[in-house]
Amino acid sequence: MDQEQVVAKSKARGSDIWDSLRTLVYAVLIAVGIRTVAYEPFHIPSESMLPTLLVGDYVFVSKFAYGYSKYSVIFSPPIFEGRILGSAPRRGDVAVFRWPQDPSIDYIKRVIGLPGDRIQMRDGALYINGEPVKRRRIEDFERRDRFGNVQERIEQWEETLPNGAQYITLNLSKYNSGDNTGVYTVPAGHYFMMGDNRDNSQDSRVPVEVGGVGYVPADHLIGRAEIRWISIDQSASLLKPWTWFGALRWSRMFTGIN
């Protein structure tokens, strides 16, 4: 093989490597762009939003629903303040936001109070601006084991907000501290968030200084949870791939979130 052939092959290998790197860079940039401006996937790690969201649900969150803040971008660079192309959340939206105490941590709750609203809980019932939110008792939520056996029954209520948004809440106990509160007046530019699992949710009823959520600033909103795209129960093991298929909750896959 002469020197020209060696040089040609070397150039060809260099070109192939560069093409591969360029393709990888483009793929990363496209993925980051979609995650920043369109949809971002999130995993549900806790039961604070039962029965709407289960542990092991994976949801797509619309990033353009509320516009963009610095928290919409990976690593949250301080490139601008406030929100751009923003629109206000609707009461009843299930929203992902950054925890005011530590903005590196994501939370997911339901938007209950808008700026200026007065929110209160009385004997487990939700009041907005002095008026009780319409609710009705429905069949119990059944917590089941992997074999389908009922382990626990929990009281369920269907709430209907003033704007017509409907969803289901759980009531674990009649004597929880969050069932009777003072009146919370939502500051301008902030939102009041609550979990659907009312007795098992650290939300805006608890001040941020003691580990709760407190009032959520508008620029901490990430987006609206719109669809469950996959759901895996806790019987699956990461190190046992043969358990993955049986752990899928097929009926929850690609379903909307109310």
CATH value at residue 147 = 2.10.109.10
The pLDDT score that the predictor gives to residue 135 is 97
- Based on the structure, what is the number of domains in the chain? 2
Domain around 22: 1-37
The pLDDT score that the predictor gives to residue 8 is 47
Please check whether residues 118 and 191 belong to one and the same domain: yes
Please check whether residues 5 and 49 belong to one and the same domain: no
Please check whether residues 32 and 60 belong to one and the same domain: no
Please check whether residues 98 and 174 belong to one and the same domain: yes
pTM: 0.83
Pick from 252, 52, 62: nearest CA to 166: 52
Task: Note if 48 is an active site residue.
Answer: yes
The pLDDT score that the predictor gives to residue 2 is 58
Q: Which of 62, 63, 109, 231 is catalytic?
A: 109
Please check whether residues 15 and 124 belong to one and the same domain: no
Please check whether residues 244 and 190 belong to one and the same domain: yes
Q: Which of 48, 62, 201, 204 is catalytic?
A: 48
Please check whether residues 249 and 169 belong to one and the same domain: yes
Task: Note if 72 is an active site residue.
Answer: no
Please check whether residues 220 and 133 belong to one and the same domain: yes
Please check whether residues 110 and 96 belong to one and the same domain: yes
Pick from 57, 15, 18, 59: nearest CA to 39: 59
Tell me how crowded residue 13 is: count the other CB atoms within 10 A of its CB: 10
Residues lower than pLDDT 70 in the chain: 1-38, 75
d(CA 88, CA 107) in angstroms, rounded, equals 18
Tell me how crowded residue 75 is: count the other CB atoms within 10 A of its CB: 6
d(CA 26, CA 63) in angstroms, rounded, equals 21
The pLDDT score that the predictor gives to residue 10 is 52
